[in-house]
Amino acid sequence: MPRIYDSESNPVDYCKPCFPKTEAEAFKKHGHEGDGPDGRGNCFGYDADHPDYEDGFMDYRCHTCRRKLKARDA
């Protein structure tokens, strides 16, 4: 947790409180948007691997509340 890949393989990050509680809930929000970047099929992924949120190089923010993500969100 807390990363989801939408149906077009775009990463969507969440803090723990905002992360969709079920895969079905996440799919309703992010899984119906197409067949991936090269037409290979739906690339939706729930609870996917994510980068280290405290690496200092990127400003990862929650998709919903926009709070800066920290190691505690992993």
Q: Stretch 2-18: mean pLDDT, rounded? A: 91
Domain coordinates of the chain in residue numbers?
Answer: 1-74
Q: pLDDT at position 34, please?
A: 73
The per-residue pLDDT for range 17-42, each reduced to its tens digit, is 999 999 999 999 999 877 777 777 88
Answer whether residue 49 shows pLDDT above 70. yes
- Contact assessment for residue 36 and residue 43, using Cβ atoms and an 8 Å cutoff: yes
Q: Stretch 38-57: mean pLDDT, rounded? A: 81
- Contact assessment for residue 62 and residue 69, using Cβ atoms and an 8 Å cutoff: yes
- Containing 23, the helix (H) or strand (E) segment is helix 23-30
What is the pTM (predicted TM-score) of this model? 0.81
